[in-house]
Amino acid sequence: MEINMNRLTQAMQSDFTGLDRKELEAFAEYMGVDYHPNIGDERLRGRILEKLGKEPLEITDEGVVTPNTPTGKLGLQELMALNLLPDGAWEGRKRIVSIVRPDSYKGNQAHPFNWGRYRVMVPWAKPVSVAYPIYDIIKNANFKEVYQVRTTGRDGTPKIVNEFSTHNRFRFTDMGDDPATAHLPESQQDQFRQIVEMTNYFEGWDTRRLARVARRLSLRYPRGADFEELRDIVLSSLGYDVDMMEFAA
pLDDT in tens, 93-147: 999 999 988 888 888 888 999 999 999 999 888 888 899 999 999 999 876 777 7
Determine the pLDDT at residue 207.
95
192, 238 Cβ separation under 8 angstroms: yes
pLDDT at 233 over 60: yes
Question: How, if at all, do strands 118-122 and 128-131 pair?
Answer: unpaired
Mean pLDDT of 71-76: 78
Determine the pLDDT at residue 149.
82
| DSSP 8-state secondary structure symbol assigned to residue 29 | H
Determine the pLDDT at residue 68.
46
What are the respective helix, strand and coil percentages of the chain, to the nearest 5?
Answer: 35, 20, 45
pLDDT, tens only, 12-45: 777 888 888 988 888 888 877 888 888 988 888 8
Mean pLDDT of 1-8: 71
Which is more confidently placed, 243 or 55? Answer: 243
Determine the pLDDT at residue 46.
86
CA atoms of 50 and 92, how far apart (whole Å): 18
What kind and span of H or E run contains 214?
A: helix 207-216
Model pTM score: 0.68
pLDDT at 64 over 50: no
Determine the pLDDT at residue 249.
45
Determine the pLDDT at residue 90.
95
CA atoms of 106 and 112, how far apart (whole Å): 14
CB atoms within 10 A of CB 142: 10
